[in-house]
Amino acid sequence: MLKPEAVTGRERAMAVAVLGRFAQAILNAHTHGLVIAVFRRSFYIRFGDEVVCVGPPGLGKGPLNVLADVPSDLEWPAVGLATQQNALRSGALLSVGARLRFDLNGAAVWQAPPSPVFSAAELRQGLRLLADSARRRAPGGLGVLLTTLDQTETAPPHAKDDPLVQAALWPIAAIWHWLGMALAGSPEVPPSVDGLVALGPGLTPSGDDFLCGVMAALVYFGHRDIAARLAAVVLPVALRETSLISAAYLSCATQGQASAVLFDALESILAGGRDLEARLDAVHAVGHTSGWDSLVGAAGVCAALARQPALSASGS
């Protein structure tokens, strides 16, 4: 384990390499924050009603992430970081607790990629390969639903053995039904998401991650209006039912901002499955099942698009 004094002296600051677009805006808007969650390799700071997540580059690019040049063996609890410690931004310097310093000068700003150009044939091939891979991998959380994206069934045969999947099936089916109609031009209001928001354990529950994937993918494919209609239903429930951190990610998703890992997986699907296994390895590494849960939402949007008779080469 790296000695704490090696990286936490007052004279030294760890350089921030990349900021998410939302993280940059939050840090620019606030000077005082509070650490609200500490993990081995990452921690969250609350600024007002917003949050940023600080960690090493291996955490991956995302809308709320502050990626610093952190030594590979550094663990935040080992250097005395704890919840309820103060965070202070002064100019380009972010100070956290008594000893941690982060230099924001020169940090690149990351945001989600622009809407893609793709072919219907490659999209459908990518979905088939994704379903095949999911059958082999048997991912956790809601990931099992990826195995039926290329079929007419909503639920895999063995889903009845998983209480989380069983609880999510009906509200997810309602979302898919509405989404198909919305993509076809229906102005119908989205269904209730009371059964999805805050569904599942963890910092970001599976139901929230799923909805993040749906909304981020809708914006990515140029359907910002449909994403906004869903967001109008999701956000009021999220503010009432889920955690501050999960609600923050849902808010980002309404603007089309989610993790780079998710967009990398979507890019692979749209390219007919090119480099898919490596992209899914990265998805698997995100949280306990968060990567898979988000991908179910985003890939479900892909499947709904693939079923549209008038799908154009631009996907819009």
pTM for the full predicted model: 0.92
Q: How many residues does the chain have?
A: 316
**CB 17, CB 54: distance < 8 Å:** no
**How does 82-115 read in b/e, with b if 16+ C-beta sit within 10 Å?**
eeebebebeeeebbbbebbbbbbeebeebbbeeb
Q: What is the pLDDT of residues 142-186, one digit of tens each?
A: 999 999 876 655 566 666 678 999 999 999 999 999 999 999 999
- What is the per-residue pLDDT for 2? 33
Q: What is the pLDDT of residues 282-310, one digit of tens each?
A: 999 999 999 999 999 999 999 999 998 86
Residue 277 φ/ψ, nearest 5 degrees: -65, -40
The beta strands (E) that lie in 61-207 are given as: 65-68, 86-90, 93-96, 100-103, 108-110
Measured over the CA atoms of residue 213, residue 270, residue 262 and residue 142, the dihedral's sign is: positive
